Amino acid sequence: MLTVIAIAGASPAFALSVSRGGARGWTEQSATVMNLQDTQDDGHDVKAEYYRTAHPSDKLTLWNKQAYDGPRFEDNDGNAWTVESGKYSTIFKMQVCEVYNNWPDSCSGWVE
């Protein structure tokens, strides 16, 4: 199942959100922080790939390799099984993937 949402606000900043399989990703803090959540107890790592305005040709990757046993509520604003990036320049393009060893990853497709 693929879910894609772009939320526009009154300011030029916007939030991106996308899901694929057990991976859910979204931006916050005026699209300057990437969040990645593992939503299924299936043993697969998840990753988010994204681009920032400061270096628009550099694809960045945020990993959640702890899978469903990952960070609990004390991490990332109370969002269990979620990791987040640092706060840097605006994220303008992203996708999330479930990672399968020795098989192609299952990715959401790019959201801008």
pLDDT tens-digit map of 64-102 = 987 666 666 555 677 778 888 999 999 999 999 999 988
What pLDDT shows up at residue 73?
55
Residue 110 has pLDDT above 70, yes or no: yes
Q: Which amino acid is at 29?
A: Q
What pLDDT shows up at residue 79?
76
Our measurement of the distance from residue 55's CA atom to the centroid of its chain's CA atoms, rounded to an integer in Å, reads 18
Identify the residue whose tokens are 């199942």.
Answer: 1
Percent of the chain past pLDDT 90, that is, above it, reads: 61
In angstroms, the CA 5 to CA 73 distance is 24
Q: What pTM, to 2 d.p., does this model score?
A: 0.82
Ordered strands of the 23-28 beta sheet: 2-8, 14-20, 23-28, 33-38, 82-84
Q: DSSP letter at 111? A: B
pLDDT tens per residue across span 47-59: 999 999 999 999 9
